[in-house]
Amino acid sequence: MITSDWHTHTTASPDGTLTVGTLCEEARRQGLRVIGMSDHCNFNDAKYRQVMRDSRAAYERHCTQYPELRFGVELSPYSRTVYDALARGDTLGSCRAGYIAAGEPPYTPAFALTREDVDALGLSYVIAGVHWRCDAPDASVPPRSADAWIKEWLRLMTWSAEALAEIAGDRLKILAHPWYSCIRAPWVQSPGEDNRGFARIPFSAHDELAAVLLQYGVAAECNADQVTHPTLSERYRREYAEFLVYLNERGVPITYGTDEHERYPDRRKSVLAALRQSGYRENTLYGG
C-alpha cells in the first residue's frame, strides 16, 4: 500500500491551481500518512523567491490542522550562467528557460537555492527534476542524436544527485521522475510507435544512475504518470516500471509522487498494479 506522496504542486507554483487545503483534505480522505507540497523554484529571481515565500506561508497556515503535511521544494538544474546573470539583476530575456544553444558544449548546471536558502526556508525535503531539452535552444529542434541526448540527460541527473547531497544535507532527497517523458525524448514511446522505447536507454546508464543515487543517499521517484499515463505506450510503461524495480533491487529507496498540479485523484491502485507486474515487492516504497 502507498501511504505517502512527496511530489505535489499548489497555487504557489506558477503552474499550480491545487490549493493546500484541497490537497490535504483529499490526502486525508485517501488515508495518506504523509503529504508533501513541493512547489517549483526554477530560478533565483524575484518571481521564484516570491513562490517560496508563498509556499512557506501556505504550509504554516495548514501544518497545525494537517500534521501529515510536509514542506518541500522542486528544483531543476539550469545553466549556472543564467543564475549568475539573474543574481546580478538581469532578466531572463532570451535565455530560453535554461536551454543551451545547439552546438555549445554542455553547460555547467546549478540550482536556484543554496544550502543556506534551504536552511532558512526550513524545508523538510528537496526534490530535483530534469525537465528540459538538454542539447538545443528549442524543443522543436531535432536532437543532435539520441545517444547524445541520453548522455546529457544522464549527466544532469547524476549532477543533481550530487548537488542534492550538498544543499539538502540529512533531509530527504529525491530525484523526481528519472528520464522524464513529457518532452518527446527519443526513449519515449507513445501508442502506435515502433521506433522508440525506454529500452533504447543502455542498461549501463541505469547502472551508473543507481550507483550515484546510492553514493549520495538520494531516492528515486516512482512518478505516477510514468507508469500509468494513457499517452504512453504499454511497452514504455512496463519498461519504466521494470527500471524502477531494478533501482529498488540495487538498494535505491523509491518514493511515490503524483506531481499533481490541478486536482488530486487517487491513482495508487493503478500504480501498484503496474509495479507488481514488473516484479515490485510489497512494502518497499519509502514511507509506505
Report pLDDT digits (tens) over 216-251. Answer: 999 999 999 999 999 888 999 999 999 999 999 999
Residue 105: what pLDDT? 59
Residue 287 lies in a domain: no
Residue 195 lies in a domain: yes
Residue 282 lies in a domain: no
> Phi then psi for 131, rounded to 5 degrees?
-115, -30
Residue 87 lies in a domain: yes
pTM: 0.93
Output the average pLDDT for the chain: 89
Query: How would you classify the pairing of strands 4-5 and 34-40?
Result: parallel
H-type alpha helices, the chain:
20-30, 46-62, 80-87, 115-121, 146-168, 203-216, 224-228, 234-250, 268-277
**CATH number for 172:** 3.20.20.140
Work out the average pLDDT over 194-223: 93
Q: Is pLDDT at 133 greater than 70 in this prediction?
A: no
The boundaries of the domain holding residue 133 are 4-277
Residue 136: what pLDDT? 57
Residue 113 lies in a domain: yes
Residue 4: what pLDDT? 96
Q: Is pLDDT at 118 greater than 50 in this prediction?
A: yes
Burial, 138: exposed, middle or buried (Cβ in 10 Å; 0-12, 13-18, 19+)? Answer: exposed
Residue 140: what pLDDT? 60
Q: Which of 163-172, 180-189, 271-280 has the highest mean pLDDT?
A: 163-172
Residue 283 lies in a domain: no
Count of domains observed in the chain: 1
Residue 106: what pLDDT? 72
Confidence tier at 102 by pLDDT (50, 70, 90): very low
Confidence tier at 3 by pLDDT (50, 70, 90): very high
Residue 288 lies in a domain: no
Confidence tier at 98 by pLDDT (50, 70, 90): very low
Residue 284 lies in a domain: no
Taking residue 217's Cβ as centre, other Cβ atoms within 10 Å add up to 16
**Is the four-CA dihedral 178, 244, 222, 266 of positive or negative sign?**
positive
Residue 132: what pLDDT? 73
